[in-house]
Amino acid sequence: MECPDDSTFAAYLEGALAGAEAAAFEGHLDGCGTCRETLAALARVVHPADELEPAGPRLRARGSTCGRYLVLDVRGAGGMGVVHTAYDPELDRKVALKLVRPQAFGGAAHLRERLAREARVLARISHPNVVPIYDVGEVDGEVFIAMEFVPGPTLARWQSEQPRPWRAIVDMYLQAARGLAHAHAAGVVHRDFKPGNALVGPDGRVRVVDFGLAVAGEPGPAEAPGPVASASLTATGALVGTPAYMAPEQWRGAAVDARSDQYSFCAALWEALSGAPYRLPQTTWRGPPAPEPAPAPTGGRAFPRWLRQVLLRGLADEPAGRFPDMPALIDACERGLHRRRGTLLAAFGAVLAAALALLWGREGAPPPQLCRDDPSLLAGVWDGEAARALRQGFHASNLPFAATVAATTVSALDAWALRWHGERRAACEATRVYGHQTEAELARRTACLDERRAALRERVRLLQSGERDVVEAAVAIAHDLPEPAACRDPAALAQGGEGDDDDARRGRAEVDRAAALVQAGRFAAAEAGAETAGATARVRGWHALAAAAQRVVGEARQGHGDGAQAEEAFYQSLWAAEAAGDDRAAARAWIGVATLLADDLARPDEARRAVAHARAAFARAGDDPRLGAELELAAALGERSSGDFQGANTRLRAAVAALTRHAEPADPRLLTALRQYGRSFFDLGQHAAAVVEYRRALALAEQHLGADHPAVADLANNLGTTLLDLRDLPGAEAELRRALAIDLRVHGPLHLSTAAAFGNLANFETVRGDFARAEQAYRATLQIYTRQAKPHPDAAKVAYNLSSLLINSARPAEALAQLQWALKVQRETLGEDHPDTGAYLTGLGIALTELRRPAEAIAPLEQAVALFERRPRDVRYLAAARNELARALWDGGGDKARAHGLAEQAAATFREAPESANMLREVETWLAAHPLAGRG
């Protein structure tokens, strides 16, 4: 939907929106930061702070019931509702029973249902430091949540009851941090962590409670990690949290994530240790600007400066400046707590700390910048001069989209460089500031980042060449750079440790260059370079490098159509990754295997098993949303290959959601996912939905690649074909001719992309009924394919389409010749057992039947039915083959009872497919005209 007008905002704030209108408004907020900020601002005007608290909670009398629970007393009340102590007679235990007041939701039933649904997600969290939820329900219009009864005090009360050593306080808070980290891993953000929302049990165990402001992301497939959610359960959808602990992005009404909980945690721990809240400057109604580093605490407990630095990082104004996640913050604290004091390093740290104390002891004096960004580290690799050279190279290509692609590529490389500097700074701080990383660990991380810089150098040199295929693939080349953040991964550090000599460095550079060449479509050069590096790696025992090299070899072989050899390379990559103990590389190898099996080799059962192996490796490797999205794309191809179009659609929805959330809009992986998502709707016969996704992908492609980029032509072809199925002939023709014009302008008349555009226009002319023009376009397309150095499987598809036109034009002999050639090309390129072979065999049978040679038609049709039964794909193909075989058997002297059974099977399949109504009528008409003797 478009951004709502003022009246819609007002209605939502007043609780007047309900049902679909409210759901649509909230859905728009999820994707529109501007409207979230607008709502936050309006809420502070419409509902000042003293009006936000709803009317008093509904208290239940002792002895009353709430569902099966017996109310004992009131434990407390807050902005979201009231908590009772209650007794569960079925399980004979005391529970805490939280009832949510209807006022918190404006009395809207759909919001109460939303809370109940999200509470059920929270019930899946099981961790010693999170209060478990036992039950969720609704009684008398109120939602109740039954959870563990913890008799102990809150963490706020515990820390104020008596003086506590700073270490004891940190230990207690780290328990809460582990609970939050587990919730984040389950896809849940707390959004209101504070000392009052953590309970200390009699056993000394801390439990985080009151996820009433949390929200869980839409659950995806059971085996996929859920997305971290950021929406609100409050009446306004913007005013959430407790002000003293709220992250700056919450004040602004922006989307929040797990790093917002990190801020709240650090603010609470700072207050517990220092005896005073973390100080923010004066704020306006828009929320706080950047927090100011508070001076060293003057009250409360003394605590070490390394811990102060850890907390200050967690309190950074921008989420990107904080720790990457809660486990990283926990690790920083634990390393600081367990440092050995007797080593030379510790002694140096003490001297350094003393020096820093002198420098920082003055009130408000800023800490020295021990780990400043150093622009000279990327000088000559990626700087202003390098960017200018890139733009000049692109301009010299004379491609019509060069300027747009140059801007997008420079932006992507700038963003990568910022991430690289950030990782370099974080690595330095871990040793030199926080002291929880050794000098040896710093050296390994720095070496890994140096390797990433070398990869950047190779990519930039290739891009600056300005060669046409490189410019076309430039955005993909830039986004395929290895991420600097991976240098925190032990597996990435191990790869750098495999070899520090010139051969190892050359090998890694060669593999990275080969990966870029794959993106540019230079498959032969990519394979040769990666093979050379891989051979050296195998001889030297560098397993991680061998894994990377063989994966690129597999991608190159897959690119030039050598499926069998590509499969072998992917498996070699997998074995090397396992030898290296690199789960991320193993996951990527399995993804390559799965994609190849599903898309090129049409072995869907094996593809699904490969996906299961990839999921296992991905689970071991840890969370990487973009790799997870690539896994879902591979899974979708497997589902499509087996004919499970609904399953493919579900996987692709998850991939699009993950990439929309975690990738940049210009990332080609998002474009690929959107395109595949559109096709999944096409496969389901939901053509209008397919059009929506294709147009969404086109908008991204035009913005980031340019209106004349070949990717736009590909998407225009997809859109035109879909509009053709919707019988929008003017719209289809416009898109298909647009695609052809782009391909002719960029690639010329003999390119394979141009052939595909000609073929789609031929299909258009066929549907329009201009068979003469259609035949001309089909034959022009085949001329392009026959000029290629090796046969191409798409040539068989074009010949098949031409044969259909010829049969409809009463020219079955010419159709038979086209089908025989198509079958030959199909077998040469994709093999005898590929499911598409069944379509050509079916066509042969139809042509022979039209030539009144039904007895000859039986053999190819029997082969088609057997192949489709053995290698299932789209059940409609099997039904069509059975239908044609039934006719050939009947007219060719075969088993008429079997013919009748085959036709009935075909009719049953067509009845299940609404888009096959015409085929169903045809089969039912034939059955009625050909009754079996003794029936009727």
Q: What is the pLDDT of residues 138-162, one digit of tens each?
A: 777 677 888 888 887 889 889 888 8
Q: Assess whether 908 and 798 both reside in one domain.
A: yes
pLDDT category of residue 915 using cuts at 50, 70 and 90: confident
Q: Does 218 score more than 50 pLDDT?
A: no
CB neighbourhood size of 663 (10 A): 18
For residue 416, the model assigns a pLDDT of 94
Determine the Cα–Cα distance for residues 168 and 12; give it in Å rounded to an integer.
Answer: 46
Question: Residue 180's domain is classified under what CATH number?
Answer: 1.10.510.10
What is the average per-residue pLDDT within 835-849?
A: 92
Residues 660-684: pLDDT tens digits? 888 888 999 999 999 999 999 998 8
Is 653:659 a contact under the CB 8 Å cutoff? no
For residue 58, the model assigns a pLDDT of 60
For residue 293, the model assigns a pLDDT of 39
Task: Note if the pTM is more than 0.75.
Answer: no
Higher-confidence residue of 353 and 76: namely 76
Helical ranges in 16-108 per DSSP H: 19-31, 33-46, 49-52
Is 795:823 a contact under the CB 8 Å cutoff? no
Determine the Cα–Cα distance for residues 409 and 415; give it in Å rounded to an integer.
Answer: 10
For residue 169, the model assigns a pLDDT of 93
Which neighbouring-strand residues pair with 145? 98, 136
450 is known as an active-site residue: no
What is the average per-residue pLDDT within 901-906?
A: 94
For residue 396, the model assigns a pLDDT of 95
For residue 487, the model assigns a pLDDT of 85
What is the average per-residue pLDDT within 923-930?
A: 92
Q: Does 711 score more than 80 pLDDT?
A: yes
Structure tokens at 347: 């002694």
Determine the Cα–Cα distance for residues 439 and 435; give it in Å rounded to an integer.
Answer: 9
Determine the Cα–Cα distance for residues 693 and 675; give it in Å rounded to an integer.
Answer: 7
Q: SS3 of 154, please? A: strand
Write the secondary structure of 776-814 as one string of H (helix), E (strand) and C (coil).
HHHHHHHHHHHCCCCCCHHHHHHHHHHHHHHHHCCCHHH
Please, which residues have CB within 8 angstroms of residue 786's CB and are 6 or more apart in sequence? Answer: 795
Residues 505-563: pLDDT tens digits? 888 889 989 999 998 888 999 999 999 999 999 988 999 899 999 999 999 999 888 88
- Domain-located, residue 621: no
Average pLDDT over the chain, rounded to an integer: 81
| Single-letter amino acid, residue 636 | A
Question: Residue 883's domain is classified under what CATH number?
Answer: 1.25.40.10
Which neighbouring-strand residues pair with 146? 97, 135
Residue range(s) defining the domain that contains residue 876 = 791-929
What is the average per-residue pLDDT within 729-741?
A: 94
Q: Assess whether 853 and 818 both reside in one domain.
A: yes
Residues 27-51: pLDDT tens digits? 776 667 667 656 665 554 444 443 3
Give the domain-ending residue among 319, 337, 355: 337
Residue 149 CA neighbour count, 13 Å, CB half: 18
Please, which residues have CB within 8 angstroms of residue 427's CB and are 6 or more apart in sequence? Answer: 437, 442, 445, 446, 449, 487
What is the average per-residue pLDDT within 470-488?
A: 91
Residues 630-651: pLDDT tens digits? 999 999 999 988 888 899 999 9
pLDDT category of residue 399 using cuts at 50, 70 and 90: very high
Please, which residues have CB within 8 angstroms of residue 364's CB and are 6 or more apart in sequence? Answer: 295
Determine the Cα–Cα distance for residues 326 and 167; give it in Å rounded to an integer.
Answer: 19
pLDDT category of residue 110 using cuts at 50, 70 and 90: low
- Strand order from edge to edge, sheet including 69-78: 65-66, 69-78, 81-88, 93-100, 142-148, 133-139
Q: SS3 of 93, please? A: strand
Structure tokens at 551: 């994966």
Give the domain-ending residue among 148, 173, 204: 148
For residue 102, the model assigns a pLDDT of 52
Please, which residues have CB within 8 angstroms of residue 238's CB and are 6 or more apart in sequence? Answer: 36, 39, 40, 43, 232, 253
CB neighbourhood size of 588 (10 A): 25
Q: Does 191 score more than 60 pLDDT?
A: yes
Determine the Cα–Cα distance for residues 187 and 210; give it in Å rounded to an integer.
Answer: 16
For residue 652, the model assigns a pLDDT of 94
Q: Does 118 score more than 70 pLDDT?
A: no
Q: Assess whether 168 and 308 both reside in one domain.
A: yes
Q: Assess whether 291 and 180 both reside in one domain.
A: yes
Q: Assess whether 179 and 86 both reside in one domain.
A: no
Q: Does 600 score more than 60 pLDDT?
A: yes
Query: By C-alpha distance, which of 559, 556, 560 is closest to 530?
Result: 556
Residues 561-586: pLDDT tens digits? 888 899 999 999 999 999 988 899 99
Q: Assess whether 117 and 139 both reside in one domain.
A: yes
- Domain-located, residue 502: no
Please, which residues have CB within 8 angstroms of residue 143's CB and are 6 or more apart in sequence? Answer: 99, 100, 112, 115, 116, 119, 136, 137
The pLDDT > 90 percentage for the chain reads 44
Higher-confidence residue of 471 and 438: namely 471
Is 177:265 a contact under the CB 8 Å cutoff? yes
Please, which residues have CB within 8 angstroms of residue 226's CB and are 6 or more apart in sequence? Answer: 121, 186, 187, 216, 217, 218, 219, 220
Q: Which residue shows structure tokens 């099977």?
A: 905
pLDDT category of residue 313 using cuts at 50, 70 and 90: very high
H/E run at residue 187: none
Q: Assess whether 135 and 176 both reside in one domain.
A: no
Determine the Cα–Cα distance for residues 584 and 490; give it in Å rounded to an integer.
Answer: 11
Q: Assess whether 845 and 815 both reside in one domain.
A: yes
Between strands 65-66 and 69-78, the pairing is antiparallel
- Domain-located, residue 876: yes
- Domain-located, residue 769: no
- Domain-located, residue 89: yes
Q: How far apart are the first and last CA of the chain?
A: 57
Determine the Cα–Cα distance for residues 402 and 745; give it in Å rounded to an integer.
Answer: 13
Determine the Cα–Cα distance for residues 238 and 18; give it in Å rounded to an integer.
Answer: 18
Determine the Cα–Cα distance for residues 70 and 95; give it in Å rounded to an integer.
Answer: 10
Q: Does 354 score more than 70 pLDDT?
A: no
Q: Assess whether 119 and 174 both reside in one domain.
A: no
Q: Does 13 score more than 70 pLDDT?
A: no
**Range of 58-72, 183-197, 681-695 with top mean pLDDT:** 681-695
Residue 807 CA neighbour count, 13 Å, CB half: 21
Structure tokens at 113: 């249902």
The vertex-238 CA angle with 237 and 242, nearest 5°, equals 115
For residue 612, the model assigns a pLDDT of 94
- Domain-located, residue 277: yes
Q: Which residue shows structure tokens 């390797």?
A: 451
- Domain-located, residue 204: yes
Determine the Cα–Cα distance for residues 481 and 412; give it in Å rounded to an integer.
Answer: 10
For residue 232, the model assigns a pLDDT of 29
* Least confident residue range of 242-256, 727-741, 898-912, 913-927: 242-256
CA 426 from chain center: how many Å? Answer: 26
Determine the Cα–Cα distance for residues 473 and 517; give it in Å rounded to an integer.
Answer: 9
Is 669:659 a contact under the CB 8 Å cutoff? yes
Give the domain-ending residue among 52, 73, 88: 52
For residue 46, the model assigns a pLDDT of 45
* Least confident residue range of 15-24, 37-46, 851-860: 37-46
Determine the Cα–Cα distance for residues 656 and 114; give it in Å rounded to an integer.
Answer: 23
pLDDT category of residue 927 using cuts at 50, 70 and 90: very high
Q: Assess whether 71 and 92 both reside in one domain.
A: yes
Structure tokens at 860: 């190819």
- Domain-located, residue 518: no
Q: Assess whether 186 and 331 both reside in one domain.
A: yes
Among the listed residues 192, 600, 644, 667, the single catalytic one is: 192
Determine the Cα–Cα distance for residues 826 and 835; give it in Å rounded to an integer.
Answer: 10
Phi, psi of 198 (to 5 degrees): -140, 130
Please, which residues have CB within 8 angstroms of residue 446's CB and are 6 or more apart in sequence? Answer: 424, 427
Q: Does 263 score more than 50 pLDDT?
A: yes
Q: How far is CA 936 from CA 28, 903, 906, 907, 922, in A?
A: 60, 17, 20, 18, 20
pLDDT category of residue 303 using cuts at 50, 70 and 90: confident
How many domains does the chain contain in total?
Answer: 4
pLDDT category of residue 379 using cuts at 50, 70 and 90: very high
Q: Assess whether 271 and 190 both reside in one domain.
A: yes
For residue 861, the model assigns a pLDDT of 95
